[in-house]
Amino acid sequence: MKNLLEHMGIDPGRLHFSWISSAESTKFVEVAKKVTEEAVALKSKEKKYMKTKPKVA
Amino acid sequence: MTSYTDKIREISKRLLKEGKVDMVIGFTRGSVPMMHQPMFAKNQGDVDRFVWDGNCGINLANYVTDRKEKIGIVAKGCDARNLAVHIVENKINRDQLYIIGVPCTGMLDRHKLTASVAGEIESIMEDEAGKTVTISGNGFSETYDRAAVLQENCSLCMHRNPVIYDELIADKVPEQSENDVDRFAAVRKVEEMTPDEKWAYFDDLLSDCIRCYACRNACPLCYCPTCFVDESKPQWVGKSIDPTDIRIFHFLRAYHCAGRCTDCGACVRSCPMGINVRAMTKKLEKDCLENFGWEAGLTTEQRPPLDTYKPDDPEQFIK
Amino acid sequence: MKVIQIDKSELDAGLKKLESAYRLIGPVKEKDYHLFKALTPGQKPDLDYSNTRLSARSILYPQSEVMFTFSLDKNDPQYAILKEPAKDPQPRAVIGIRPCDADAYEVVRRNFDTPEYKDPYWLKNFEATTLVGFACNNPCPTCFCTSAVSGPFSDRNLDILLVDDGNHFLARLSTEKGEKLAELAGWKRPAENADDTIEKMKATAESKMTTTVSTDNLANQSLTDLYEAEEAIWDSEAFACINCGTCTHACPTCWCFDVQDETYGKSGVRMRNWDSCMYPLFTMHASGHNPRDKKIGRVRQRFMHKLKYYVDKYEQGIQCTGCGRCVRLCPVNIDIRRICNKMNSYDPETCSCAVTS
């Protein structure tokens, strides 16, 4: 799935896969932080992922 | 191809006569060139309508899903692989099927042929040796080398002979190998692009999609009772021709075919706009081969990689 | 009717003059086929085509069309009020529409313009549009317009009919809209004996039609007999059908739509999208019950609507202009010509059709 998403042009920096046990709250916080940081760093390019309002003909 | 046609008729007649099957599924000549129609024969009188040539590109495995009868089915290499997928996924029982195997030399690319001439094609002829194809219409007649006008998936095919069958209608044809063709060249070309280039590539690829769902409906894998795009409670995807929604449809449909797609090309053949939706499924085929050594539909004995777990499955991407 | 002669070199110059008064739309070849597109300034319509891959339906009736916009911001005084968006009022001209597609507008209009209901979106678009048609000198082998409700030179629903006589275009003006457009384009040289030439060319084009369908008996057939003709017609035709929407999306006379609300942050739109009777969702009730839950029912609906219900309701022939697109594009060769002949020839006594292929 990661491969196909990347193949279709999603920035690799936006895709994160982690295995976090329900007991690993600290790991969850760390991963969430890291994911957010990396995504924010890519913010300038985010427009293409957003669905835009249809134009009125 | 007349020998193929004769043989299919002969076997079908025999199966129906002996009561071995309730129906035989094959192709009949379409009312327009390059568009043969899937048909069933329930009595011996109907079998003479069966034909076989390079215009039988629709995947007949799509027509046996959840059927209860005993069925004789004409199956080229990819159809037989999809029958194997169907058997593994419990969409049909092996003992319900009598597979009439057709060693296949590839199907003709109707989009390419249509685009190659300005007028509308009125007739298409293949020579008996299987070397050339001639199309003609008002004011034109063009002859092509057959190999040059095959569907792309057919020219890259490694399994032309049916993998499971009860009877073959002809001697096996030679198979191509990795040495003859580079089947993932187009995938690698996209892999080498930057994310923005990839995005633009798929934007352009899908720009003409009209959401008719012919690709999905021609696909033997797409047998869900309700497709995720048709769900209304809740509704997952928008219904307009918004590019984001179109991309979500194609992406998710492709992903649902991961490890199951045999690259039969029925999706591309069916598309009224000629969109190469295989650009997505081919990538999954490559990944399945590289990561799991798996090709779909070659066996009914083994579970596919995406519904099994092995301790050594690749997981480098999980952090 | 007035016929003027336009030299081939004058056509583009005339279109150039029209750019300020009209939004021009015409056939354009982008990938391997022609589609109707809005022409950019200076872009010429590509008239070297037999027909566009998809019909001209979307020009008046886009596949996705915004009907209303609304705000979801509770602080907005206009919160949750549906408002019709302002549309570009500029007149448009379609250059090179085929007669079958223009005649399809007449068919669609029967549904969108009735004494009880008027569809404002379609009608506004229709009124703003001038249709410059392009006669078919060489009908395609899959065309059967002469036995449907159209013809290769039919200008019943055109403002101008362009005929390519080899050396120049003959333009037959049939409405005020057409005359106005010709005047703005500067096309005014009267053509001599043009009516004769056009009639002759029309006869030649019609003689080239290779397929016909019989529709004469459809109105006489009993609706329930046809509906129940499962063995003779519907079972075998529905078998191959994959239930995609290719036929309905390519069709110039299909008019069904589905209304959807979509939201984007604090605002949203109500839009309508083409729907297709081939899709199971088309008839899905809110209760979860689906009265047309099988493929055979959906296939039957499409043909019964076009060739029986419409015929009985409007008494204006079939809901088909014979453009042949569904015949060309159906991936599994469900051919409306064959089904029409079957329905026309169905004999309820013997439960069989005189025509089977």
B107-144: pLDDT as tens digits: 999 999 999 998 899 999 999 888 999 999 988 999 99
pLDDT of residue B173: 96
Helices (H) and strands (E) in chain B, counts: 10, 8
* Cross-chain residue pair C332–B38, CB shorter than 8 Å: yes
Instruction: Give CA–CA dist C326/C9, Å, rounded.
Output: 35
Give the residue from chain A lying closest to B259, CA to CA: A1
CB pair distance less than 8 Å for C88 and A54: no
Q: How far does B116 lie from chain C, in Å, by closest CA?
A: 9
Give CA–CA dist B278/B281, Å, rounded. 5
What residue type is assigned to position B213 of the chain? Y
Mean pLDDT of C190-203: 93
User: Cα–Cα distance between B161 and B164 in angstroms, integer?
Assistant: 9
Nearest CA-CA partner of C125 in A49, B49, A56: A56
Contact across the interface for B240 and C63, Cβ inside 8 Å: yes
With bands split at pLDDT 50, 70 and 90, how would you rate the model's confidence at C357? low
The predicted structure's pLDDT at residue C60: 95
Nearest CA to C333 out of C354, C357, C352, C309 is that of C357
What is the per-residue pLDDT for C309?
97
DSSP C311-334: HHHH-SS-S-----HHHHH-TT--
Q: Is the pLDDT of residue A46 over 80?
A: no
CB C79 within 8 A of CB C72: yes
Residue C34, beta-bridge partner list: C29
Residue C70, strand partner residues: C268
- With an 8 Å Cβ cutoff, are C331 and B241 in contact? no
The residues that bridge with B40 in the sheet, in sequence order, are B25
Q: What band does C337 get if pLDDT is binned at 50, 70 and 90?
A: very high
Where do the domains of chain A lie? 2-42
Percent of chain C with pLDDT over 90: 89
Q: Tokens at residue C31, please?
A: 């990938």
Tokens describing residue C44: 């010429």
Exposure letters C29-46 (e unless 16+ CB within 10 A, then b): eeeebbbbbebeeeeebe
Domain boundaries, chain C: 2-54+87-207, 223-353
Neighbours of chain C (3+ CB pairs under 8 A): A, B
3-state helix, strand, coil in chain A (%, to 5): 60, 0, 40
Q: Is the pLDDT of residue B218 over 80?
A: yes
Helix (H) or strand (E) holding C264: strand C257-264
ipTM score of the complex?
A: 0.93
Please, are residues C234 and C300 in contact by the beta-carbon 8 Å criterion?
A: yes
State the pLDDT at residue C88. Answer: 80
Q: State residue C24's pLDDT score.
A: 96
Burial of A57 (0-12, 13-18, 19+ CB in 10 A): middle
Residue C200: partners with Cβ closer than 8 Å, 6 or more residues away: none
Q: For residue C332, give the nearest of B287, B227, B270 by alpha carbon.
A: B270
Write out chain B residues lying below 8 Å of C244, CB-based. Answer: 212-214, 216-218, 270
| pLDDT above 60 (res B285) | yes
> Is the pLDDT score of C119 beyond 80?
yes
Phi, psi angle pair for B89, to nearest 5°? -90, 10
Query: Does pLDDT of B253 surpass 60?
Result: yes
Looking at every residue in chain B, the average pLDDT score rounds to 94
Residue C329 token pair: 């594009």
CA pair distance C152, C348, nearest whole angstrom: 35
Give the model confidence (pLDDT) of C210-262 as tens digits.
888 999 999 999 999 999 999 999 998 999 999 999 999 999 999 999 999 99
The answer to whether C99 touches C155, Cβ cutoff 8 Å, is yes
Average pLDDT, chain C: 94
| A3 → closest Cβ in B195, B283, B319 | B283
Interface test with B, best of C63, C332, C337 (most B CBs within 10 A): C332
The reported pLDDT for the residue numbered C38 is: 95
**Helices C176-185 and C8-18, packing angle to 10 deg:** 100
Rounded to an integer, what distance in angstroms lies between the CA atom of residue B197 and that of residue B193? 6
Q: In this structure, what is the dihedral angle of CA atoms B4, B6, B10, B12, given to the nearest 10 degrees?
A: 60
- % of chain C at pLDDT higher than 70: 99
Burial of B239 (0-12, 13-18, 19+ CB in 10 A): buried
pLDDT, position B54: 96
Q: What is the pLDDT of residue C279?
A: 95
Residue C38, C-beta contacts closer than 8 angstroms, at least 6 positions apart: C23, C24, C25
Q: Compute the distance between CA of residue C166 and CA of residue C138 in angstroms, rounded to an integer.
A: 13
d(CA C294, CA C301): 11
**Which residues between 175 and 204 in chain B have a beta carbon less than 8 angstroms from any beta carbon of chain A?**
187, 190-191, 195-202
- Averaged over C36-45, what is the pLDDT? 94
Do residues B228 and B252 touch, judged by C-beta distance below 8 A? yes
Q: Model confidence over B16-50: pLDDT tens digits?
A: 999 999 999 999 999 999 999 999 999 999 999 99
Higher pLDDT, residue B222 or B139:
B222
Say if the Cβ atoms of C267 and A54 lie within 8 Å.
no
- CB < 8 Å to B190, chain A: 7
Residue A26 has pLDDT above 70, yes or no: yes
